[in-house]
């Protein structure tokens, strides 16, 4: 099973002709993802790796029946790319691009509230339902099929966690990076709920970091879950008031500390590991 994407997912790539878009097109095809089309305004009519390119999302959806979009467009143009997919009612939109201004995301978030589509990201690595479909930039070979669902605010830290779990024989259902920005389309709670309802997922791993209160809110939801959740929080040693790369990773006004997140999660029955190796042990205990 897994969540959000599977073998029936038909992917369109916005920004398919760019350096990152074309590179990851090849990696996704290699993984077995069904990439049906791409969009780069002004470059319609070409084909890359056998995948047709269109000028607009509308044309691409009409011709190919794409139901998921992944965005590799540069930050100044990415809000426009997200809107284009939302206006065309693409059910699932994944934005890889980092560096989108908050003002644009406030506006996009309003549109998302009106319903229709789901946005994952921005500033995220995308997701993979192991062995079925990869819509993202994560290296495909680090995942193994198994019973663990992973949700993360980070990109590369997700790879770290997934790869260590795979090494230890704890494979995954779906691995999803929800993004490191202050406003994101899909939150921890959304994904926790999906994993709770996914029959193949037995244990959930939640990788959070300093900044905001999403982990604390997630802890409230975890209290109601039947499945075990194991957590990891990065940024325990980060100084206050300094933004740690992610636009969302900053401890400000006493809010967003690692301590507060760890406390909330532990109180909700989700143990928080200090090292990835420790996380792996805790997950394995819960699978067996």
Q: In what helix (H) or strand (E) does residue 287 lie, and over which residues does it extend?
A: helix 276-287
286, HSE (Cβ side, Cα atoms, 13 Å): 24
Residue among 197 and 252 whose Cβ is closer to other proteins: 252
Residue among 93 and 249 whose Cβ is closer to other proteins: 249
For position 207 contacting other proteins by CB under 8 A, the verdict is yes
Residue among 84 and 98 whose Cβ is closer to other proteins: 98
Is 246 in the active site? yes
Would you give the end-to-end CA distance of the chain in angstroms? 20
Sheet holding 10-14, edge to edge: 47-48, 51-54, 34-39, 10-14, 68-71, 92-95, 118-120
Smallest separation, CB 276 to other proteins (Å): 7
Q: Angle of helix 276-287 relative to helix 156-167, nearest 10 degrees?
A: 50
> From CA 119, how far away is CA 63, in angstroms rounded?
22
Residue among 98 and 190 whose Cβ is closer to other proteins: 98
> From CA 215, how far away is CA 133, in angstroms rounded?
27
Smallest separation, CB 157 to other proteins (Å): 4
Residues 80-139 that bind other proteins (CB under 8 A): 96, 98-103, 105-107, 109-110, 113, 125, 137-139
Which residues make up the interface to other proteins (CB under 8 A)?
A: 19-20, 24, 27, 75-76, 96, 98-103, 105-107, 109-110, 113, 125, 137-139, 142, 152-160, 163, 180, 182-183, 207, 209-210, 212-213, 232, 234-239, 242-249, 253, 274-277
């Amino acid at each position: 099973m897994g969540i959000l994407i599977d073998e029936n997912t038909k992917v369109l790539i916005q920004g398919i002709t760019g350096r990152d878009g074309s590179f990851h097109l090849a990696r996704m095809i290699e993984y077995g993802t069904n990439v049906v089309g791409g969009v780069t305004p002004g470059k319609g009519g070409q084909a890359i790796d056998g995948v047709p390119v269109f000028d607009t999302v509308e044309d691409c959806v009409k011709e190919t029946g794409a139901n998921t979009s992944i965005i590799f467009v540069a930050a100044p143009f990415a809000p426009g790319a997200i809107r284009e997919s939302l206006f065309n009612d693409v059910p699932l939109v994944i934005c890889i691009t980092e560096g989108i201004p908050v003002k644009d995301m406030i506006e996009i978030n309003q549109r998302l509230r009106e319903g229709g589509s789901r946005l994952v990201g921005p500033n995220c690595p995308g997701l993979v339902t192991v062995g079925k479909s990869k819509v993202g930039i994560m290296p495909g070979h680090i995942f193994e099929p198994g019973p663990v669902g992973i949700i993360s605010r980070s990109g590369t830290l997700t790879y770290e966690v997934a790869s260590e779990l795979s090494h230890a024989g704890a494979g995954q259902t779906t691995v999803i990076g929800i993004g490191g920005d202050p406003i994101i389309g899909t939150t921890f709670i959304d994904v926790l709920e999906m994993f709770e309802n996914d029959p193949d997922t037995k244990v959930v791993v939640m990788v959070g970091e300093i900044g905001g209160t999403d982990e604390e809110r997630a802890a409230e939801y975890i209290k109601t879950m039947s499945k075990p959740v194991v957590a990891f929080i990065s940024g325990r040693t980060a100084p206050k008031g300094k933004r740690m790369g992610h636009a969302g990773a900053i401890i400000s006004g006493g809010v967003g500390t690692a301590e507060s997140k760890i406390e909330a999660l532990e109180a909700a029955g989700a143990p928080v590991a200090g090292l990835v190796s420790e996380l792996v042990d805790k997950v394995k205990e819960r699978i067996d």
